[in-house]
Amino acid sequence: MRTVIVHYHLFKNAGTTVDSVLERNFTVEEHGHVEGPLPWSTLQPEQVLEFAVNNPSVRAISSHHARLPLPQHQSIRFFPILFIRHPIDRFASVYEFERRQPEDSVSPSVSIARNGGIAEFARWVIGSDATAVCRNFHVIHLANAQTDMRTARATHEDYETALARLSALPFFGIVEEFDESLVRIKQQLKPHIGDIAIDHLNQNVTPGRHATLAERLNHIEAELGESLYRDLLECNALDLLLYTQAKRMFAAARQALHPQARERFGDRLMRTLRGATGARPRA
Predicted local distance difference test score (pLDDT) of residue 204: 55
Asked if the model's pLDDT at residue 24 lies above 50, the reply is yes
Mean pLDDT of the chain: 91
Residue 281 inside a domain? The answer is no
Q: Which domain holds residue 104?
A: 2-275
Lowest-pLDDT range, 93-102, 144-153, 205-214? 205-214
Output the pLDDT for position 201.
Answer: 58
State residue 196's pLDDT score.
94
Q: What sign for the dihedral angle of Cα 151, 81, 280, 164?
A: positive
> For residue 259, what pLDDT is reported?
60
pLDDT in tens, 238-271: 999 999 999 999 999 888 764 655 555 556 555 5
Residues in contact with 69: Cβ distance below 8 Å, sequence separation at least 6, in sequence order? 45, 144, 165
CB atoms within 10 A of CB 60: 24
Average pLDDT score over residue span 274-279: 48
d(CA 278, CA 283): 13
Express each pLDDT in 3-17 by its tens digit.
Answer: 999 999 999 999 999
pTM of the model: 0.90
pLDDT value at residue 214: 97
Structural domain includes residue 282: no
Query: Which is higher by pLDDT, 203 or 185?
Result: 185
Q: For residues 79 and 262, what is the distance between their CA atoms, to the nearest angstrom?
A: 23
Q: Which CATH number belongs to the domain containing residue 124 in this structure?
A: 3.40.50
pLDDT at 279: 44
Rounded to whole angstroms, how far apart are CA atoms 94 and 145?
Answer: 23
* pLDDT, average across residues 44-55: 98
pLDDT of 120 reads 98
Residue 129, pLDDT > 70, answer yes
pLDDT at 282 (0 to 100): 41
In a domain, 283, yes or no: no
Question: pLDDT over 70 for what percent of the chain?
Answer: 87
In sequence order, the 6+-apart residues with CB closer than 8 A to the CB of 164 are none
CB atoms within 10 A of CB 94: 20
Q: How many domains does the chain have?
A: 1
* Per-residue confidence band for 36, with pLDDT thresholds at 50, 70 and 90: very high
